[in-house]
């Protein structure tokens, strides 16, 4: 296996600001969540996906959406991308879906103004009325590192500063 990336926690200050914005909790509550964050890990030697763990417990009734600041950033080698998906069992049982279908984390996102903080926004699209319950520390998404190619006439020379939509060409 080729080693192409390393996960890091974002700074405590960045996490507290993002977590409080997403949840409305107190600074002390956000700090406590930050201290419990776990870096993504593979469950077995044959696993392709790195499990992202829920910073806090959450529940989603059918058609409810949640945006989760993970507190994680990924330092990725050039020529590789991190793709984020729901954990397959949650997708199968609850039709849990990422709101952007597949999260794409580019290697230069690590240097974005928000420290490359990975957010995961997902919706329970279950048609059977089942509520999804995820415990704090439980895996809810998975990330897979994949190589990518570019065209022979590629002339990209922009620099990333932001996150969502920041690299759209005009």
Share of the chain above pLDDT 90, in %: 87
Query: 32 to each of 21, 37, 128, 138, how far by Cα in Å?
Result: 16, 9, 35, 17
- 3 state SS for the chain: CCCCEEEEECCHHHHHHHHHHHHCCCHHHHHHHHHHCCCCECCCCCCCCEEEECCCCEEECCCCEEEEECCEEEEECCCEEEEEEECHHHHHHHCEEECCCCEEEEHHHHHCCCCCCCEEEEEECCCCCCCEEECCCCEEEEEEEEECCCCCCCCCCCCCCCCCCCCCCC
Q: Which residues pair with 145 in a beta bridge?
A: 82
- Tokens 């696993």 -> residue: 47
Per-residue pLDDT, averaged over 21-48, amounts to 97
β-sheet with 65-69: strand ranges across: 65-69, 119-124, 96-98
- Residue 114 contacts residue 133 (beta carbons within 8 Å): no
The yes-or-no verdict on residue 162 having pLDDT over 70 is no
Per-residue pLDDT, averaged over 56-85, amounts to 97
CB-neighbour burial class of residue 121 (10 A; exposed 0-12, middle 13-18, buried 19+): middle
The yes-or-no verdict on residue 159 having pLDDT over 90 is no
Q: Confidence class of residue 10 from pLDDT cuts 50, 70 and 90?
A: very high
Provide the pLDDT for residue 85.
96
Per-residue pLDDT, averaged over 105-120, amounts to 96
Q: Which residues pair with 122 in a beta bridge?
A: 66, 98
Residue ranges and CATH numbers for the domains of the chain are 5-147 (2.70.40.10)
Alpha-carbon distance of 50 to 62, in angstroms, equals: 26
Provide the pLDDT for residue 163.
56
Comparing 163 with 86, which gets the higher pLDDT? 86
Provide the pLDDT for residue 169.
46
Per-residue pLDDT, averaged over 87-107, amounts to 93
The yes-or-no verdict on residue 61 having pLDDT over 70 is yes
Provide the pLDDT for residue 166.
46
Could you read off the pLDDT of 116-157 as tens digits, one per residue?
999 999 999 999 999 999 999 999 999 999 999 999 999 988
């Amino acid at each position: 296996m080729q080693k192409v990336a390393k996960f890091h926690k974002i700074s405590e200050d960045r996490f507290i600001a993002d977590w409080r914005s997403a949840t409305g909790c107190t600074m002390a509550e956000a700090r406590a969540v930050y201290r419990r964050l776990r870096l993504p890990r593979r469950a077995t030697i044959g696993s392709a996906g790195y499990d992202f763990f829920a910073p806090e417990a959450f529940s989603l009734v059918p058609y409810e959406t949640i945006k989760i600041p993970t507190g994680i950033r990924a330092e990725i080698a050039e020529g590789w991308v991190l793709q984020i998906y729901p954990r397959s069992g949650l997708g199968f049982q609850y039709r849990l879906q990422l709101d952007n279908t597949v999260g794409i984390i580019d290697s230069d996102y690590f240097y974005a103004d928000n420290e490359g903080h990975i957010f995961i926004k997902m919706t329970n699209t279950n048609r059977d009325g089942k509520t999804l319950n995820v415990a704090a520390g439980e895996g809810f998404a998975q990330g897979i590192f994949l190589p990518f190619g570019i065209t022979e006439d590629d002339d990209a020379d922009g620099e990333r500063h932001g996150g969502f939509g920041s690299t759209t060409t005009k």
